[in-house]
Structure 1
Amino acid sequence: MSNQASDNNKRIAKNTLLLYFRMLLMMFVTLFTSRVVLDKLGVIDYGIYNVVGGIVAMLGFLNSSMSNAVQRYLSFEIGKKNDDGVNRVFNVSLLAHTGIAIFVLVAAEIVGVWYLNTYMNIPFERMDAANWVLQCSIFTTLFSIVQVPYNAIIISKERMGIYAYISILEVVLKLLVVYMLSIGNFDKLKLYSVLIMMVSICIMMIYMFYCAKKYKEAKFRLIKDRCLLRQIIGFASW
């Protein structure tokens, strides 16, 4: 019993240190890249990206709340050592997030495009680039929504190491994006929005590949469980 308690304490300490390192690294890189991106894009384009691309930040609370809800139900089933229950929760949450992603896509393509081209005060010559930013931001958001169940199962399994390593890879890729802004004669705002979207796709694919290889509970099955779906959404709404 004492050995098990010691192992648990070591795992908790290791996971905590990894998460703190991840947080500090991401904070430092964000502070550094913000200054460089502002310099490379210029004030107007940087403003356009943050205003138009704000859809990603605006929907961040949705991902956070849903991720916590999915983690709660996954952790409960993992604690019972019920692999079938874990797979059921994972697949129901994956279907739910796919539905949310479809809803966001339709709403953003209708309302977002209309609002951008009708009401937003953007220089006429940059409207084309602004629409590029909007489309890339929409798809970046979709990937981040669908990615939530994969993040949740990794955290529920307490694999903070792989979670931190993938986050570090994401930071490195974003540093590479900043470097690529310094070369070539492309429209830097379009290039930046496309590259950030590609980073998002890459990270989602890594999460999916890792979970599919590592956890049999993360295998996709078409499961219709409205009761469980209502419970997850209800818990997230609180």
Structure 2
Amino acid sequence: MPEAGKPVYKRILLKLSGEALMGDDAYGINGAMLAGIVAEIRSVAELGVEIGVVIGGGNIFRGMAGASTGMDRATADYMGMLATVMNGMALSDALRQAGINSRVQSALSIEQVVEPYIRGKAIRYLEEGRIVVFAGGTGNPFFTTDTAAALRGSEIGAEIVLKATKVDGIYTADPKLDPQATRYTRISFDEAISRNLRIMDATAFALCRDQRLPINVFSIFKPGALKRVVAGEDEGTFVHV
């Protein structure tokens, strides 16, 4: 058993949805939510854990939903990638203000604003103790930021992908609709597939399974949850091979 409070992972990939930054707002970035996420990341970084973050863009792109009606899918996806760059910049700036070194790397080339994604450089930053925020998704339309998380996690040698959601794990049914629903503590990839549990999109899920890269689904809204996951405590749901 690991010592209480001590990390069981040296390098992690945190997947943050854009919606995690919204709070109760309809769209955009809620300052209190951003500060809370930075505090969670800081608590883990102080343990010496190397942290990569893949961030979504739904909170910003949601504000453009009306304009995107009938839009070509590839065009809409590229707009979503730009939204992730905005979120990445906001997160990096908030980390900087909290005294935490970070770098944003984008799969899209916007060198006046953020660095291009270079695997070797990202790994060096992690080894130096910097948070690396991966924006721009995979750089390709038709792929989600879940897939980007699985891809970047595999590339940088992360030991686990931590998917931060609004729910504190994976349940047998929707806990909002079924009070009898129970949380899975652990579940295998194969069992999750057989039970049709939609943990990530199919491409991301298959990549994690094939790379033997475990996933932990937890709530980013529970104070201290990220630190407990990294310490190997019973927090969220652990998905394994």
TM-score by length of 1: 0.27
Q: Which has the higher helix share?
A: 1
Point out the structure with the larger strand share: 2
Q: Higher RCO, 1 or 2 (CA under 8 Å, sep at least 6)? A: 1
